[in-house]
């Protein structure tokens, strides 16, 4: 999924603010989870906590894929 | 919560349906007539205007579904993170990486790069080893902690120089930091995350209302020469109802002094405000620089506690999910 995301341009040539806000909101939330994971690893957190956060990251990345797919499709319908 | 899962399933089904429809459409000869989106196969549109309207309706459904996926996913994650990390330290900026110690070398290894995050935008890859941040070399047993420590002194939106080791060679990147966990809650006076769920996704108020349909384009050099600016973001379609006082063809140079470098950046800046907040826009209109004082529209949707539904959202549609048709397919 992340490879597909990385293959996309960072944004469509014309962005619709409502949909872009959905994309940027999820991107920011994933970055925040990544930051928490780094901190947790440093503090040798329990594996269950790491696993929970990692699962959450996976779910958020899945949501981001869906939103970016919809954005790409909507852009092509212009 | 059950309602939320239903909504997520609905939107997932819609998007999955779109994928199926898109895949299916490739196999349909161009000459073969198709049913219009949202209509039975027997109903045929009789004008281009009909088709345009139905295409626009299909696009809007897709985008609304995307908004719901983002909003609900974020709220679920907020609740979970709040439970897992009830007392994390707020206030620092982040660059969008997961770090771990580098095996056999000094530095912090990038385990994951956050998609669409600052590091990803700058070109940093998973597997890179960060060896210096803002000119400070990482030394000692805990280079990841050193990175976090350095980032505590960095404010969001400031540039951070990051030196990495990749394939035995050093490379330098400039990364623009963004707000980290808790910053949004503290900066914008939202409820304390330690005592309740995380706030709504930043910028979620833009999923509805007049700002939603605003369209922006990053200025290219040619566009820039036409509009008379090397920097800024072009307003392709201004918000409805005169919101923000913007007009089609304006170029946004700054929002309260923050200079947007792309449509996404402008969206992030606008999303950092609350509905009803005042802001100042510096724009170019017909080759003249103007200052506009504007107010962000108040929230249109009303969140009903316990159901997380917005007025006018997808969930209020009368038809059940399995009857939503897109791209002329009768079944999803």
Q: Do A30 and B115 touch (CB under 8 A)?
A: yes
The mean-pLDDT minimum among A27-41, B97-111, B257-271, B303-317 falls in B303-317
The mean-pLDDT minimum among A47-56, B232-241, B308-317 falls in B308-317
- Sorted by sequence, the CB contacts under 8 Å of residue B238 that are 6+ apart come out as B214, B244, B246, B247, B248, B250
- The stretch B129-143 carries a mean pLDDT of 90
More reliable by pLDDT, A54 or B323:
A54
Q: Do B97 and A38 touch (CB under 8 A)?
A: yes
Statement: residue B269 has pLDDT above 70: yes
Statement: residue B199 has pLDDT above 60: no
Q: What is the per-residue DSSP string for B151-167?
A: HHTPPTT-EEEEEEEET
Q: Do A22 and B67 touch (CB under 8 A)?
A: yes
| pLDDT score, position B4 | 41
Statement: residue B78 has pLDDT above 70: no
Is residue B93 helix, strand or coil?
Answer: strand
The mean-pLDDT minimum among B41-45, B70-74, B301-305, B317-321 falls in B317-321
CA distance B115 to B286: 37
Q: What are the C-alpha distances in Å from A65 to residues A1, A5, B11, B73, B97?
A: 7, 7, 13, 12, 18
| pLDDT score, position B257 | 94
Contact assessment for residue B268 and residue B184, using Cβ atoms and an 8 Å cutoff: no
Strand-pair category, B233-237 with B215-218: antiparallel
Contact assessment for residue B102 and residue B109, using Cβ atoms and an 8 Å cutoff: yes
- The stretch B306-317 carries a mean pLDDT of 33
| pLDDT score, position B40 | 55
Q: How many CB pairs under 8 A join A and B?
A: 216
- The stretch B292-308 carries a mean pLDDT of 61
Per-residue pLDDT tens digits for B10-60: 444 444 444 434 433 333 343 444 444 555 555 555 688 888 888 888 888
Give the distance from residue A54's alpha carbon to the nearest chain B alpha carbon, in angstroms: 11
Q: Which pLDDT band, with edges at 50, 70 and 90, does A16 fall under? A: very high
- Residues from chain B contacting residue A35 (CB–CB below 8 Å): 94, 96, 180-181
Per-residue pLDDT tens digits for B202-226: 677 777 788 888 999 999 888 888 8
- Residues from chain A contacting residue B58 (CB–CB below 8 Å): 77
| pLDDT score, position B128 | 96
- Residues from chain B contacting residue A42 (CB–CB below 8 Å): 142, 144-145, 148
Interface predicted TM-score of the whole assembly (ipTM), two decimals = 0.94
* Average pLDDT of the residues of chain B: 73
| pLDDT score, position B104 | 72
Statement: residue B313 has pLDDT above 50: no
């Amino acid at each position: 999924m992340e490879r597909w995301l990385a293959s996309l341009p960072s944004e469509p040539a014309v962005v619709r603010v409502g949909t872009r806000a959905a994309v940027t909101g999820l991107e920011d939330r994933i970055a925040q989870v990544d930051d928490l994971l780094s901190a947790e690893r440093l503090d040798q957190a329990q594996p269950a906590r790491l696993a929970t956060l990692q699962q959450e990251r996976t779910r958020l990345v899945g949501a981001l894929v869906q939103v970016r797919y919809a954005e790409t499709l909507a852009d092509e319908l212009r | 919560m059950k309602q939320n899962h239903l909504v997520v399933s609905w939107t997932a089904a819609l998007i999955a349906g779109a994928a199926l429809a898109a895949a299916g459409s490739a196999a349909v000869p161009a000459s073969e007539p198709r049913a219009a989106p949202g209509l039975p196969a027997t109903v045929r549109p009789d004008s281009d205007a009909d088709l345009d309207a139905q295409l626009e309706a299909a696009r809007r459904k897709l985008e609304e579904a995307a908004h719901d996926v983002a909003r609900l996913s974020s709220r679920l994650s907020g609740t979970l993170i709040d439970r897992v990390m009830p007392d994390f330290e707020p206030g620092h900026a982040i660059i969008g990486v997961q770090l771990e110690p580098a095996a056999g070398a000094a530095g912090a290894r990038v385990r994951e790069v956050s998609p669409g995050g600052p590091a990803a935008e700058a070109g940093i890859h998973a597997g890179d080893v960060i060896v210096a941040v803002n000119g400070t070399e990482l030394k000692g047993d805990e280079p990841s902690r050193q990175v976090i420590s350095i980032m505590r002194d960095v404010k969001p939106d400031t540039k951070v120089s990051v030196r990495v080791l990749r394939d035995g060679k050093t490379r330098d990147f400039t990364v623009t930091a963004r707000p980290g966990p808790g910053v949004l809650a503290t900066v914008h006076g939202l409820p304390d995350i330690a005592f309740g769920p995380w706030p709504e996704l930043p910028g979620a108020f833009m999923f509805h209302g007049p700002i939603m349909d605003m369209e922006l384009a990053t200025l290219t050099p040619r566009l820039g020469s036409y509009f008379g600016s090397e920097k800024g973001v072009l307003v392709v379609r201004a918000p409805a109802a005169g919101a923000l006082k913007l007009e089609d063809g304006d170029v946004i140079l700054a929002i309260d002094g923050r200079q947007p470098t792309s449509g996404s950046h402008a969206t992030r800046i606008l999303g950092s405000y609350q509905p009803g907040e005042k802001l100042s826009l510096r724009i170019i209109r017909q080759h003249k620089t103007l200052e506009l004082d504007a107010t962000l529209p108040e929230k249109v949707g009303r969140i009903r506690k316990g159901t997380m539904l917005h007025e006018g959202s997808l969930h209020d549609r009368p038809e059940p999910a399995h009857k939503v048709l897109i791209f002329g397919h009768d079944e999803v």
